[in-house]
Chain A
Amino acid sequence: MQKLKVLVVDDEPGICSGVKRILGKFTVSYPFMDEDRGFEVFEAYTGEDAIELIKKDPPDIVLLDNKLPGIQGTEVLDYINKNHREIVVMIITSYASLELAVKATEKGAYDFIPKPFTPQELKSSMEKVTKHHFLQGMTQRLNKEGKEVRFQFLSVLSHELKSPLNAVEGYLKIMEERQAGDQISQYDQIIERALQRINGMRTLIMDLLDLTKIQSDEKEKQFEHVNLLDITKNAIETVSPYAIQKDVELNLHAEEDITFYGDPNDMEIVLNNLISNAVKYNYKEGKVDVNLEKDIDQITIKVSDTGIGMKQEETSKLFNEFVRIKNEKTRNITGSGLGLSIVKKVINLYNGDIQIDSTPGKGSTFTVILPLNNQ
């Protein structure tokens, strides 16, 4: 059992000893905590003593009376806020000064408990405080190690990887048990779907590789004068078998050789993603226009399609990881939900910007601006 250090600051000895007695035998347990929490209670009768004690050995929790003989409780609270933000403070107050207690919570105290309080009231307050203390510590630890985002990413990722595996496995079991009949042709649709899910998984893995590439150390980047026109032509060529299959026409408009000082891998990621999306989310016999323009201070890449488009509120979420717009029109299109989040990250690396202009049923235009100021 872990013991939390509780400092009671109150000029009434009765309160201090009461808290000591009640919390001495009390433990708090929650399903999310690996072990129970008990309490070790220390006492201080003045604010000055309290600050001395906190300086020497900071407690986890402070129960703080507001009305003290010397300096007031709020001053102790100020001291804690300034020097020990991790301490959870609960104000002990008489009903007459509830207003003060409310003010104290606005100033950073976690909660208040009116006195006189019953043992049960103290216990339930301590349960809340303990939970808060635990969660606060957890968040701080995660933030410190930069793990919070990574953790979320990994849990969503494992979900995204498991779903296609489950789907393919389920289809194979159906086939194994001949659930749809004895003819192989009865399984055409099932096989097609299984292959699509495997494809989706491959895309996800490729995107993950892209993500690690752009997150690799700045030093590993290979900066050079990149011919964006060549990279665009390559991207168009890569996607053209798919475009032919969907009967989508691809057009490139660029005035001249457009060079940009950057990592060619990064530029490939941007153009490949935008152009393949423009084909992927297009209608049959649709069109994709790619425009490259170089001005004095910036390069503009514009990729327009005549595809399914999306609503305003959908465009705002689009650059988040694992976000995919789900509707009738996108249900048979596979994607990892990572592509555009990666594109956005790359563009941020170059202090650039990306904007979407889209109309549902008509098409979308993605405009990328890459500033040339550091070239």
Chain B
Amino acid sequence: MNTNKKILVADDDVDYLFQIKLHLQNMGYEVLTVESQKEAEEVLENTKPDLAIYDLMMETEDSGFILSYKTKQKYPDVPVVIATAVASETGISFGLDTKDEKRWIKADLYLEKDIRKEQLEKEIKKLLD
């Protein structure tokens, strides 16, 4: 079990925050939760997390992208995960599969909510190794 690695989670859904925090803590991580892009930016000012998980739509519909970009600017080596319930069936579909998408989405991984615990654990381990 990885211990004492710090994960920053930003999401405006308090229930999602509660649940992911519980999962991540059970996996042995230290978890910092914030409810907005603004709060996340404040945390990033003085804290370097080992990994960050951002919801896409918070104050604005691209808060997650902006946070990813800012995180990578300040801490290029911190892996960033974008988690969102914006799904392909709505027509707003993107991933990190093509070069073009990787050019403008500065995240390492894109996950659709609902995130299964096992998948989350696997992906995070992969990114932290």
Contact = CB atoms under 8 A, between A and B. Distances in A.
Interface residues of A, number: 22
Interface string A24-67: 00000011000000000000000000000000000000000000
Contacts of A166: 16, 85, 113-114
B77 interface: no
B54 to A, nearest CB: 16
B12 interface: yes
Interface in B82-101: 85-87, 89-92, 98, 100-101
B90 A158 contact: yes
Contacts of B19: 167, 170-171, 174
A196 B117 CA distance: 23
A180 B26 CA distance: 10
A163 interface: yes
A170 B90 contact: no
A155 interface: yes
Given A159-B57, A159-B85, A163-B85, A151 B91 contact: yes
Given A155-B90, A158-B87, A326-B35, A170 B15 contact: yes
Interface residues of B, number: 26
Nearest to B12: A326
Nearest to A169: B114
Interface in B31-51: 35-36
B26 A179 contact: yes
A362 interface: no
A193 interface: yes
B15 A171 contact: yes
A173 B36 CA distance: 26
A155 B91 contact: yes
B115 to A, nearest CB: 9
B120 to A, nearest CB: 11
A170 B114 contact: yes
B108 interface: no
A158 B16 contact: no
Contacts of B14: 193, 331
Interface of B: 12-16, 18-19, 22, 26, 35-36, 57, 59, 85-87, 89-92, 98, 100-101, 113-114, 117
26 contacts: A31-B98, A151-B91, A155-B86, A155-B90, A158-B87, A158-B90, A159-B90, A162-B85, A163-B16, A163-B85, A163-B113, A167-B15, A167-B16, A167-B19, A170-B19, A170-B114, A173-B117, A174-B19, A174-B22, A179-B22, A179-B26, A193-B14, A197-B15, A326-B12, A326-B35, A331-B35
Interface of A: 30-31, 151, 154-155, 158-159, 162-163, 166-167, 169-171, 173-174, 179-180, 193, 197, 326, 331
Given A162-B85, A179-B22, 14 more contacts: A154-B90, A159-B57, A159-B90, A163-B13, A167-B13, A167-B16, A169-B114, A170-B19, A170-B114, A171-B19, A174-B22, A180-B22, A326-B12, A331-B35
Which 6 interchain pairs have the tightest Cβ spacing? Answer: A155-B90, A167-B15, A170-B19, A166-B114, A162-B85, A166-B113
